Chains A and B, each alone.
Chain A
Amino acid sequence: MIAQLRKLVLGETWTLPIGVAVTLLAGLALSSAGPDWWQPAGGFLLLAGALATLMAALRRR
Chain B
Amino acid sequence: MLTLAGAALAVALELLEALAIVLAVAAERGRRDALIGAAGAVALLALAGFLVGPVVLARIPLEPLQVVIGVALLLFGLEWLRKGVLRLAGRRTPSSALAEYLEERAALHALAPPPPGRPDWAARVVAGKGVLLEGLEVVLIVAALGAGDEGLAPALAGAAVAVVAVIAIGVVVHRPLARLPESHLKYAVGVVLSAFGVFFLGEGLGVEWPGGDLALLYVAAAFVAVSQLEVTTLARGAPA
Contact = CB atoms under 8 A, between A and B. Distances in A.
Interface of A: 1, 4-5, 8-13, 16-17, 19-20, 23-24, 27-28, 30-31, 38-40, 42-43, 46-47, 50-51, 53-55, 57-58, 61
Given A31-B206, A53-B78, A58-B230, A47 B222 contact: yes
Given A16-B82, A20-B74, A5 B133 contact: yes
B198 interface: yes
A58 B234 contact: yes
Nearest to A24: B71
A43 B210 CA distance: 9
Contacts of B3: none
Contacts of A38: 206-207
A16 B206 contact: no
B205 A9 contact: no
B205 to A, nearest CB: 4
**Chain A, interface SS category:** helix
Given A20-B74, A54-B81, A61 B227 contact: no
A4 B222 contact: no
A51 B239 CA distance: 26
A9 B75 contact: yes
8 contacts: A11-B75, A27-B202, A31-B205, A31-B206, A38-B207, A39-B206, A39-B208, A54-B85
Interface of B: 67, 71, 74-75, 78-79, 81-83, 85-86, 91, 129, 133, 136-137, 194, 197-199, 201-202, 205-210, 215, 219, 222-223, 226-227, 230, 234
Contact of A12 (B71, B79, B208, B210): B79
B71 A61 contact: no
Contacts of B223: 50-51, 54
Given A24-B201, A47-B198, A42 B78 contact: no
Given A13-B82, A20-B78, A42-B205, A54 B227 contact: yes
A57 B190 CA distance: 14
B142 to A, nearest CB: 15
B201 to A, nearest CB: 6
Contacts of B226: 51, 54-55
B219 A47 contact: yes
B206 A43 contact: no
Contacts of A40: 208, 210
Contact of B78 (A16, A30, A46, A61): A16
